[in-house]
Structure 1
């Protein structure tokens, strides 16, 4: 195979109480990469669309480019060159893992073209390098679910220990992306550096409860556990109308609602697709009341991760 077209899905990270340790994949939106072998070594980013000209074509500064570069060095094939085209099918700075999806699509495509010398899970450290370029931190709560699909727990970063857990088949995510932008570095900078013991205990209970609720499955327990007492209170001030949108989601039947990643997107989890659609519309309508346009997405938990598309 000389050429491949790959789609990698968007993700919801943190999932309320699980800052930097929880994430799950959704079906849409996502990023698409076309990767083609060439005879000369090196990676050439020949086209980027959907980014309004904001993303760098310099390999060392591009999330997909650096992920592929690190991967080739690891397998000892820096002699292999690629032409890369990237189509951004999701907004930048959305809190939906935009940089992660690009990195995952790139390294997954490269591994396929090289005959799959590494397992999908073994590609994770290279995708994480794309995150380091994007926001200064090689976190895995977006790249993990985008690469592996499903709901992911990062138990440890050193050594890297990733766990996939089962989720209820009727669990749906509603995502609303308001047409504002929150910078990931800014969203991290606003966080408190120290938290109290009582707050930590509350958060730990919610983390454990959410894992148990997903695995049992127990929708009531999922709802009671989708509470973030550490990160959400700080980041909520960056998102206009946050409290009102969250209240609208819960009133429409959501189990729980919080910020997706570093924002400004919000997500809610619901039992059943119809409820999830009603929740998404209620969230969108609440933003519209103050003149903020938004996009909505409704999806079950994506269990597949990246997909190979017809060329």
Structure 2
């Protein structure tokens, strides 16, 4: 019998410019790790959390790892004991799918510990339950790509309909995490309840174009489609240096740039590692010029999602 397992789940970018609340993708650069150790008595216990600065709850009912695992156990109608050890590789409230990565890593580990009763894609509803606890809404545009990898389309929730999209060879992402906080509630509050028909039409065309570009491996079409006319115009004013950064990244060769999730992290897609590095350098220069620190990460798109690191 397996007594302990350790799993990793990657960071994610949600929305992907035009795909507000319906598109997301995973990246290789960073993520969260969860170790589970089976214990004799039933129940889940969050033993330790590293890398969160003491901000995340150890109480099982409030911790996304434990909530996700408990949802799985409830579905199986099983009483199993597990000690949970979470290592955060993602900053909190960063727009990189931090809560999603924790829940997904926990589910990948728990599924292994229990003998893999679920196919990977069938773990998604349990991860969504954890997102409800983390952010109050059952969004899947972070948990789905973190679990499955690559680009993912959330077509519908009732019933849940998730489609994994292809990733062209050589597609890279650069993440820019500026050193300031942006409250998710503030980022949501600036959005409009009503969308003009013209903007809805433009956005729909861009979503369709982006998906077609991914299937065709057409980087020019991907670039033309990375445009958000619904959320970005209102959120950009909350992000210092947004337009200066966008112009610099375009000059450096970015296919396009947008806000990762609700921010403050920005993402840029590019063709090839060299361009991703040039984008990173250009971004650092802009943020330095406005007196703002920034953490920069770049990598290829993660196409395998969460995975097991070790089992004993």
Superposition TM-score tier, normalisation by shorter sequence: over 0.9
Give 1:73's aligned residue.
74
Give 2:21's aligned residue.
20
1:310 Cα deviation from its structure 2 partner: 3.5
Q: Deviations over 1:211-230 (max 9, x none)?
A: 01111111111000000000
1:248 Cα deviation from its structure 2 partner: 0.9
Report which stretch shifted further, 238-247 or 179-188. Answer: 179-188
Provide structure 2 residue ranges, at least 5 long, that are not aligned to the other structure: none
Q: Deviations over 1:123-182 (max 9, x none)?
A: 001011111111111100000000001100001111100001111111111111111122
**Secondary structure in 1 matching 2:26:** strand
1:305 Cα deviation from its structure 2 partner: 0.8
Give 2:261's aligned residue.
261
Q: Distance in 2 between matches of 1:18 and 1:296?
A: 23
Paired residues for 1:198-277 under 5 Å: 198-277=198-277
1:278 Cα deviation from its structure 2 partner: 0.5
Please tell me whether the aligned partners of residues 50 and 88 of structure 2 are also in contact (alpha carbons under 8 angstroms). yes
Q: Distance in 1 between matches of 2:189 and 2:107?
A: 29
Give 1:148's aligned residue.
148
Paired residues for 1:1-311 under 5 Å: 1-77=2-78, 79-310=79-310
**Secondary structure in 2 matching 1:282:** helix
Please tell me whether the aligned partners of residues 150 and 164 of structure 2 are also in contact (alpha carbons under 8 angstroms). yes
Provide structure 1 residue ranges, at least 5 long, that are not aligned to the other structure: none
Please tell me whether the aligned partners of residues 27 and 299 of structure 1 are also in contact (alpha carbons under 8 angstroms). yes
1:185 Cα deviation from its structure 2 partner: 2.5
1:284 Cα deviation from its structure 2 partner: 2.2
1:245 Cα deviation from its structure 2 partner: 0.9
1:30 Cα deviation from its structure 2 partner: 0.4
**Secondary structure in 2 matching 1:6:** strand
Query: TM-score of the superposition, structure 1-length normalised?
Result: 0.98
Q: Deviations over 1:167-203 (max 9, x none)?
A: 1111111111111122223222221111110110000
Q: Deviations over 1:93-152 (max 9, x none)?
A: 110000000000011111110001011000001011111111111100000000001100
Q: Distance in 2 between matches of 1:130 and 1:189?
A: 23
**Secondary structure in 1 matching 2:123:** helix
Q: Which runs of 4+ in 1 moved over 4 A?
A: none
1:308 Cα deviation from its structure 2 partner: 1.5
1:60 Cα deviation from its structure 2 partner: 1.2
**Secondary structure in 1 matching 2:92:** coil
Please tell me whether the aligned partners of residues 179 and 292 of structure 1 are also in contact (alpha carbons under 8 angstroms). yes
Q: Distance in 1 between matches of 2:100 and 2:282?
A: 28
